[in-house]
Structure 1
Amino acid sequence: MGKVLVVDDHPVVRLAVRVLLEQGGHLVLEADNGVDALQQVRNQGPDLVLLDIGIPKLDGLALIPRLLEQERPPKVLVLSSQPPQHLAQRCRQLGAGGFLSKEAELDGLADAVKAVLAGYSYFPQLPPAEAGSEQQQLASLSDRELAVLRQLARGATNREIADAMLLSEKTISTYKARLHLKLGTSNLVELLELAKRQGLD
């Protein structure tokens, strides 16, 4: 059994995960944003970080490499409501040990935690994206670009995204311009429709 830090900005999700993990004998810590999570990893030294991607202050994709450069790096298991076809491979490349979708029943969580703590990978089997498809275009985005797109899809303004990501509004505008270029969209409506089709809202 291990010490697990659950990082999610939804209290209900944290509670459900805490109950499940404590039943399995794990000691559970909690954080609701990336900055606090990093602080807890430094202070508490958890064995595993169970991480949501869409968290405030420092999103999950930006947090994974920072967690792994700690003196005693924890294992990382991503638990996300975002579609695995866009994020699972990206999380693996960043060094996460596994990816679990919140859409799946949490029954698989105990197995995933056990596997990742034991040093195994726990990723879904996904078919490769077709050349030229929207999935492939999304795969070409940087982590920051994808994070901005996810926030836009949720209806956030440039100012709200800038505040959440600790960036300037001008920088967010630059990311939006890059998104249009890479995804072949000419306005915000087209961009949001593409994001919705791909389950990023």
Structure 2
Amino acid sequence: MKIKVLLADDHAIVIEGLKAVLSAHPEIDVCGEAHNGKEVLDFLDTHYADVVVLDINMPVMDGLTCARKIRQKHQRVKIIVLTMYAQKSFIEEMLRIGIDGSLLKSNTGQELKEAIYRVHSGKSYYDMVHTFDDASNTVSQYKLGDREIEIIKLLAEGLTSTEIADKLFIAESTVKTHRRNILRKTELHNTSQLIQFALNQGII
């Protein structure tokens, strides 16, 4: 019997790439695709899947929130999380949630197939954990400057761009430029995802 896999990523090109990788393995059947966590949960309410492959950063509902809800409603479903962030703090959070496996997006070739087989058999797949960095490397990894880190912390406190500008004695347009640059560097979509990222990386 084929392993039914649901793919979830907000980038269509990523899903197509994952489907191309998995199509080479006749034992695996990509039974569906979703572009955010809510679509994943809606799919699982009406369809069967053995394994869900989740991107961490998705709009509407991120991957970790989605994984928590899957664990609450669909305990039998195995979960693999794909992440761009090589941080041990992510592994710790995934283990708390009960996620079955994780690998970096840069390792989604042969490794993804092996991860699917492993978790489907009831085992975990965290083989890449030994290559994950400590949280202290986050700043250098994403080339975040001191001012950008300062702005991330103030955003986490709930300050608006105007309030941050007043606090730092800089123009509001400068704050907005920093915010755009931070999102570009971290490949995130909004402030909510940025704050979650900062929490997971130990920045705040």
TM-score normalized by structure 2?
0.64
Structure 1, unaligned stretches of length 5 or more? 137-144, 166-171, 185-201
Among 73, 78, 82, the residue aligned to 1:75: 78
d(CA) in 1 for partners of 2:25, 2:14: 17
Give the aligned partner of residue 59 of structure 1: 62
Aligned residue identity for 1:154:
L
Among 148, 154, 165, the residue aligned to 2:183: 154
Aligned residue identity for 2:183:
R
Measured after TM superposition, the shift of residue 90 of structure 1 is: 1.4
SS in 2 for 1:154: helix
Aligned residue identity for 1:48:
V
d(CA) in 2 for partners of 1:90, 1:135: 18
Residue 115 (structure 2) pairs with residue 117 (structure 1): no
Give the aligned partner of residue 142 of structure 1: none
Measured after TM superposition, the shift of residue 53 of structure 1 is: 0.2
d(CA) in 2 for partners of 1:43, 1:91: 25
Are the equivalent residues in 1 in contact too, given 2:8–2:55 (CA < 8 A)? yes
Measured after TM superposition, the shift of residue 70 of structure 1 is: 1.6
TM-score normalized by structure 1?
0.65
Give the aligned partner of residue 15 of structure 1: 16
Q: 1:5 to 1:65 in 2, by over 3 A?
A: same
Q: 1:59 to 1:71 in 2, by over 3 A?
A: closer
Q: State the number of aligned residues.
A: 156
SS in 1 for 2:73: coil
d(CA) in 1 for partners of 2:59, 2:132: 30
Structure 2, unaligned stretches of length 5 or more? 139-151, 157-178
Residue 126 (structure 2) pairs with residue 126 (structure 1): no
d(CA) in 2 for partners of 1:110, 1:127: 19
Residue 47 (structure 2) pairs with residue 44 (structure 1): yes
Measured after TM superposition, the shift of residue 45 of structure 1 is: 2.1
SS in 1 for 2:81: strand
Residue 10 (structure 2) pairs with residue 6 (structure 1): no
Identity of aligned residues (%): 25
CA RMSD of superposed structures (Å): 3.5
Aligned residue identity for 1:134:
S
Give the aligned partner of residue 145 of structure 2: none
Are the equivalent residues in 2 in contact too, given 1:84–1:101 (CA < 8 A)? no
Give the aligned partner of residue 144 of structure 2: none
Are the equivalent residues in 1 in contact too, given 2:54–2:63 (CA < 8 A)? yes
Give the aligned partner of residue 139 of structure 1: none
Measured after TM superposition, the shift of residue 71 of structure 1 is: 4.5
User: What is the 5 A alignment of 1:89-128?
Assistant: 89-104=92-107, 106-123=109-126, 124-126=128-130
